[in-house]
Chains A and B, each alone.
Chain A
Amino acid sequence: MPHANAPAPLLEARGVYKTYHKGAVAAPVLQGVDLAVSPGELLAVVGQSGSGKSTLLHLLATLDRPDAGQVRFEGNRIDNLPASGRDVLRNRHLGMIFQSYHLMPELTALENVLAPAMIRYGVLGYWRRRRSLRERADQLLHTVGLGHRLTHKPRELSGGEMQRTAIARALMSSPRLLLADEPTGNLDRENGDEVLRLLRELNRESGLTVVMVTHDRSIALQADRTVTLSSGRVEVAACAA
């Protein structure tokens, strides 16, 4: 067993169930998902559309709550935290990127990257730290190769640039865990590869744990490990290279 001596999982789902109700019709999405993410790994969750992979990611990110089961982060249950606790967790310990980037259209690239810090600190706190925060956001945008796009609004950026901005934003709070929901879904091959390369690099160089949800097996091949979701359950735990 390759995981016998593995460190305690950073993120763990235990017997997670989730059912969505649409009127009288109940649509079971997750039916007892068990998943463990080790620190420093790049895990791909693959599955058909509607297999529940996005829902699983939302549960892992505490954007939603499981009907049954537990979600643990660094060994502590996070699915039953009060709203304020989950807000803090999302703000400081988790980074998220999405298929459609989800940047704020009214803010510039730099302001979008600063958004988690603005949410974290009040007006005064932000004002006091504004120099160091700006510097960090600046540096992050340089890291993702957008040093020349600081003051551009999202609509002035290409898809790849928007996703890289979103990655910079996700890294703003220096999280240990990055959750990616179809990060290349809206991008062409070239830009998609660029984003994947960036994630890979971050994973290798700074030990960032990445959980990536995708329907594309070729993308999943680049991960350390792939988990397949099928009709609400984890099918096979296959080990990739």
Chain B
Amino acid sequence: MYKLLLCWRYLRTRYIALASIISVMLGVATLIVVNAVMAGSHAEYLKQLHGIHSDLELHVRSMEGAPDAQAHMARIREAAGDKIAGVSPTVQVPAMLGYYIGQQYITRQVMVVGVDEATYASVSNFGGFLKHPDNRERLDFQLKEGGYDSGRLPAEADAAADAAAEPAWPQMKNAGWAYRRMRHPPPVAAAAAPTPEPAPASTSGPTAGPADPFAGLNAVPLPEHDPATMHHVGCVLGIGLVSGRGQDGAKLLYQLPGDDVELTFPSAGRPPKPLSAKFTAVDFYESKVGDYDAACVFVPLADLQRMRGMVDPATGVANFTALQIRLAEGADLSEVRSAVQGLFAERYYYVSTWIDKQGPMLAAIQVETAVLNILLFLIIAVAGFGILAIFYMIVVEKTRDIGILKSLGASSGGVMSIFLTYGLLLGVVGSTVGVIGGLVFVRYLNEIADGIGAAFGMNLFDPDVYPFPKIPTIVDPVTVSWITAGAMLIAVLASVMPARRAAAMHPVAALRWE
């Protein structure tokens, strides 16, 4: 009983102990905030990456592809039909993207993805990353009249608040047919001569050679191309491919929907030969995951198959290089993965999951979280050493009291537990206040970040950099309990040494202490 009373009295009469309470509190609060933000970012990134990728991907090892996507899809559905929500064939080949900035011709290395407009939306959140609202609903690779500036990612929760914000890409306001007509003014009446541009969407160059078995495919006569009213095959460019920052730091687009670009990609022949074709950008893709925004160009699957010569002229069956598979709700990823892998010979096919593709990034977030936790626990450990030093002084100061207690029959264990309880009390008070402070901070994190940003004239959280509009937070009760328990343990451990010293004191020596 005397232990509690004395602890309480010591706590109330020694304000220096509050210093250690405050450091415990700050450590606990920081840990909670950091863990909440890291968990929130991790979850948001997962959501974003899951939106970019389908759950599973069956790849054909050869870029030439394998024939008959329908037959493959049928086999997959047969094996794991109830666990599969959607399958879509794609063709993915590395390519060169070329376009003009002013007079300068720019080439970039890209991955061309031929997507099936009808089914691709069922396997990933592809549409959600596009700029034009109609394309988000259903992509048709047709240039729209305008309306490319309708705000940021629709995946964002509060689109209402977002709409009020300034558009991320002000230039997009001009994009569309109007822009294309402006770039290609109608020819003067006298200019009835054929346009200097070659036939659109047609391959040129080496494929024209007599050895090309697919040459006949492209020999279809096409109507004359009028750039003011017609466009080439549509393509969706990753926004990172055509954007940059001007000298003043403003974000610039070098191309807009309505501009023509050139793609050079390998044919499906043996050996593959480079093919070039003109495409018209009809929309941009912005997932804010840099790797994808600066690497992918999406084109219609059928056109890509035709251009690469992947269609068997006899049967009309086309090759594909990958099948995108989306799982039904609650299906087990690795289970379906093994089922699909079991269907096809590993020599020719391999299966990957969406987690495989971003393994390093997700692992990096986890490592960051772990390291931050260690560092921040060191802060609490520093608080622990503060408690140790302060308690040591209190034990020295209270030497006579310890002698009195012992002369009154208090055991060494009892004297020790005064200081251990005192330490625990500091830990409990410090971490309780810390938890409350941390949770309040997390709750108002975005408001606080905005406030600090406004006060110091800098943007603490730039939504252009991250694939989420606000700082995401997730408070995990288990993490919070671990942090609290850890802080209390450190406080108690720090008081062990002073407490042992107090317990070991000789009563006579303690009583004589002046």
Q: Which residues of A contact B (CB under 8 A)?
A: 58, 61, 63-64, 83-84, 87-92, 96, 98, 102-107, 111, 115-116, 118-123, 125-127, 169
Contact = CB atoms under 8 A, between A and B. Distances in A.
22 contacts: A58-B508, A63-B508, A63-B511, A64-B506, A83-B411, A83-B412, A87-B409, A87-B411, A90-B407, A90-B408, A91-B408, A91-B409, A98-B511, A102-B400, A104-B405, A106-B10, A107-B5, A119-B2, A119-B409, A121-B1, A123-B4, A127-B1
A118 B412 contact: no
Contact of B6 (A90, A92, A106, A123): A106
Contact of B407 (A84, A102, A106): A102
B403 interface: yes
B10 to A, nearest CB: 7
Most buried by B among A92, A111, A115: A115
Contacts of B5: 107, 111, 118
Interface of B: 1-2, 4-6, 9-10, 13, 400-401, 403-412, 414, 506-508, 511
Contact of B511 (A102, A115, A118): A102
Binding site secondary structure of chain B: helix
Given A63-B511, A106-B9, 14 more contacts: A61-B407, A63-B507, A64-B507, A87-B406, A87-B409, A88-B409, A98-B511, A102-B403, A106-B10, A107-B5, A115-B2, A116-B408, A119-B410, A123-B4
Closest 4 CB pairs of A and B: A91-B409, A118-B2, A106-B9, A126-B1
A237 to B, nearest CB: 26
Given A58-B508, A121-B1, A123-B4, A107 B9 contact: yes
A95 to B, nearest CB: 9
A120 B5 CA distance: 14
Label chain A's interface by main secondary structure. helix
B405 A119 contact: yes
Nearest to B2: A118
Among B1, B407, B508, B511, max chain A CB count under 10 A is at B1
A123 B10 CA distance: 18
A88 B9 CA distance: 25
Nearest to A130: B1
B100 to A, nearest CB: 84
A169 B408 CA distance: 9
A176 to B, nearest CB: 15
A110 to B, nearest CB: 12
Contacts of A90: 407-409
A58 B406 CA distance: 12
B400 to A, nearest CB: 7
Contacts of A64: 506-508
A73 B2 CA distance: 27
Contacts of A84: 411
Contacts of B506: 64
B513 to A, nearest CB: 11
Contacts of B6: 104, 106-107
Contacts of A83: 411-412
Contacts of B407: 61, 63, 90, 96, 102
